[in-house]
């Protein structure tokens, strides 16, 4: 099997991965860095899809304290406050470096200062953006800088599993597959960063691109990394309804709601009057998603099965000028965002939970780092819009600097466990030898529907217990899949979908087990059988590790309220 040795292995190529590579290189240009990405460089991932913008304190009337308060309030105070504080404080120098060092250029006021727009859940208009195509600006510019520095990129290659040394305590790289050829290879590294982005495509409606399949979190879990708050899965309230299309769930960002767009049910009511009469449609994502879902459950859904988003009253010229990406996307599917209501539904969007990290992005295993959506703790129970790409860029920057510092002392690579490599490769090839078995595509659809109905926006103990049993049943069937007749291994997308199922299943295990443990409603976690938030009970985090049988072992710990408590917030 081909082996590549490097100082730093970065898995992923979104905002976190690219900022990490750039900062590690700029800290020490002698470092050998390898990026492994399933996509073509600069063309995949969730960062590129960001429409809204990047939350950052730039105005003298704003403050890091205000941004931190908004972030903790949005996260319902189960955030890791040290991580949240680092996010808001380091966002300021990060965005300035992105403009001055990497060439990102954001919208301006007439006086030349950076334009900042309103986003839901914020006490100050602090969202920096490039129209409604902010992610494309960031990823296009940082990709150029990666190429300028001649950092090695392995395109259309997939990391399958993290590799441990013979002690099992240190991560020494990853087993990968070249999607183009179907061949395995190993990257051995002195430091490894997992920054694949989350991508909960394991639901009926989902916002990320279909190539996002929770790979990083699955790999982290199987490697034994400590995880946190996996019950906290954010549903974006306005995913586009496009029947029969893989782009169903594509987002209409909340900048629209911030500008004054509103939501209607089948009766033509602005139903947010029932759920948040003060903030209305500018409420946080968890409240907005839940409200739409409850309207749909109550039979007030529109004929398309969801609810309507109305922006026409803002004026067609205003919508077309200020939201060109969303307007064009809607037009592609026969909807006129500028003049008529558009059908939307909540869509699985973002994982607030993930690997436990410190502010330097170290995980619980030696030599292993995580950043962006693969890491947990920053956002608590609910991520504010605009804090996602900020998290990716800030903690990508932190990870790059941290790995460069780490490698001042640790440039050697311990010996990988060769038996682990052989065992993994054999398991990934096993379906090609079977002559009968279920279809991975059927099993994937079954998992998506089960997650939507049992582990989705509204949860109950009964449904979660059923989900845990169904997940194990699907896992048993996934182990019996046969791929005979699907062609060779080169560009075999059915094989790739089967591989993705293991990551989807492992993350579904974590979500359902954690959700069962939190017997209250908090942020994105809504329990129909425990519909109230209870701060006397619920100010804890749920940590977990993979048990020997593959199932999660869970532990609750009180939140460290280091900087702010719920009583510090004036409503």
User: Which member of 158, 226, 236, 362 is catalytic?
Assistant: 236
User: Which member of 48, 67, 69, 257 is catalytic?
Assistant: 257
What the block records as the tokens of 481 is 């899949």
Task: Report strand pairing: 2-11 vs 183-194.
Answer: parallel
Sign of CA dihedral 195, 201, 202, 205: positive
Active-site residue, 475 included: no
DSSP state of 202: S
Question: In which residue are the tokens 């010996």 written?
Answer: 415
Cα 83 to Cα 69, 97, 432, 560, distances in angstroms:
13, 20, 44, 12
Active-site residue, 236 included: yes
Question: If DSSP codes are grouped into helix, strand and coil, which group holds residue 396?
Answer: helix
Question: In which residue are the tokens 């900048």 written?
Answer: 255
DSSP state of 92: H
Round to whole Å and give the CA distance between 504 and 178.
21
Burial of 446 (0-12, 13-18, 19+ CB in 10 A): middle
Cα 416 to Cα 343, 403, 557, distances in angstroms:
51, 20, 34
What the block records as the tokens of 461 is 């103990």
Question: If DSSP codes are grouped into helix, strand and coil, which group holds residue 490?
Answer: coil
Round to whole Å and give the CA distance between 82 and 479.
41
Round to whole Å and give the CA distance between 49 and 134.
8
For the chain, what's the residue count?
A: 571
Q: Which of 457, 463, 450 is nearest to 291 (CA)?
A: 457
Q: Which of 174, 135, 170 is nearest to 157 (CA)?
A: 174
274: Cβ contacts below 8 Å, ≥ 6 apart: 291
Task: Report strand pairing: 342-351 vs 307-310.
Answer: antiparallel
Q: Edge to edge, what strands does the sheet with 127-128 contain?
A: 54-55, 127-128, 116-117
What is the DSSP code string of 328-387?
HHHHHTT--TTTS-EEEEEEEEEES-EE---TT-B-SSBTEEE-GGGB-SSSTT-PPTTH
Provide the CB-side half-sphere exposure for 163 (13 A, CA): 31
How much of the chain is in helix, strand and coil states, percent to nearest 5? 40, 20, 40
Indicate the Cα dihedral angle 393, 395, 397, 398, nearest 10°: 170
Round to whole Å and give the CA distance between 214 and 315.
39
- Give the residue numbers marked as catalytic: 236, 257
């Amino acid at each position: 099997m081909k082996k590549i040795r490097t100082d730093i292995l970065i898995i992923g190529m979104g905002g976190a991965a690219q900022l990490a590579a750039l900062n590690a290189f700029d800290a020490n240009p002698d470092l050998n860095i390898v990026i492994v990405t399933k996509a073509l460089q600069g063309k995949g991932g969730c960062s590129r899809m960001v429409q809204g913008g990047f939350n950052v304190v730039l105005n003298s009337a704003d403050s890091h304290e205000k941004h931190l308060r908004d972030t903790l309030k949005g996260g319902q105070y189960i955030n890791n406050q040290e991580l949240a504080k680092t996010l808001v404080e380091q966002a300021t120098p990060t965005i300035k470096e992105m403009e001055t060092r990497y060439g990102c250029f954001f919208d301006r006021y007439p006086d030349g200062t950076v334009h900042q727009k309103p986003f839901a859940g914020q006490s100050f208009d602090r969202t920096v953006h490039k129209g409604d195509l902010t992610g494309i600006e960031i990823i296009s510019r940082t990709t150029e800088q990666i190429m300028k520095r001649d950092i090695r990129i392995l395109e259309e290659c997939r990391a399958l599993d993290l590799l441990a040394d013979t002690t099992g305590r240190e991560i020494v790289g990853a087993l990968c597959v070249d999607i183009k050829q179907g061949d395995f290879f190993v990257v051995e590294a002195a430091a490894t960063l997992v920054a694949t982005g989350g991508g909960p495509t394991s639901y009926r409606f989902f916002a990320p691109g279909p190539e996002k399949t929770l790979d990083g979190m699955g790999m982290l879990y199987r490697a034994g990394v400590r995880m946190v708050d996996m019950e906290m899965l954010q549903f974006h309230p306005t995913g586009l309804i496009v029947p029969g299309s893989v782009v169903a769930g594509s987002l209409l960002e909340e900048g629209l709601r911030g500008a004054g767009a509103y939501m209607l049910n089948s009766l033509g009511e602005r139903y947010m009057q029932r759920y948040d009469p003060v903030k209305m449609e500018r409420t946080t994502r968890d409240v907005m998603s839940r409200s739409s879902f409850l309207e749909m459950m109550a039979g007030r859904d529109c004929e398309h099965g969801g609810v309507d988003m109305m922006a026409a009253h803002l004026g067609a010229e205003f919508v077309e000028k200020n939201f060109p990406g969303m307007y064009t996307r809607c037009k592609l599917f026969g909807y006129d965002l500028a003049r008529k209501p558009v059908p939307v539904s909540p869509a699985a969007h973002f994982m607030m939970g993930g690997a436990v990290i410190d502010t330097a992005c170290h995980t619980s295993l030696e030599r292993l780092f995580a950043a962006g959506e693969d890491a947990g703790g920053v956002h608590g129970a609910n991520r504010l819009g605009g804090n996602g790409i900020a998290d990716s860029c800030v903690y990508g920057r932190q990870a790059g600097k941290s790995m460069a510092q780490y490698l001042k002392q640790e440039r050697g690579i311990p010996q990988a466990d060769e038996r682990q490599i052989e065992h993994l490769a054999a398991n990934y090839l096993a379906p090609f030898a079977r002559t009968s078995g279920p279809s991975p595509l059927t099993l994937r659809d079954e998992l998506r529907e089960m997650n939507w109905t049992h582990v989705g926006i509204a949860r109950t103990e009964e449904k979660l217990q059923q989900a845990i049993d169904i997940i194990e049943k699907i896992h048993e069937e996934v182990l019996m899949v046969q791929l005979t007749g699907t062609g060779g291994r080169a560009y075999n997308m059915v094989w790739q979908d089967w591989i993705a199922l293991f990551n989807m299943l492992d993350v579904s295990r974590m979500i359902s087990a954690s959700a069962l443990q939190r017997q209250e409603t908090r942020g994105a976690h809504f329990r129909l059988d425990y519909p109230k938030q209870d701060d006397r009970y619920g100010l804890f985090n749920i940590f977990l590790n993979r048990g020997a049988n593959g199932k999660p072992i869970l532990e609750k710990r009180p939140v460290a309220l280091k900087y702010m408590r719920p009583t510090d917030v004036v409503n």
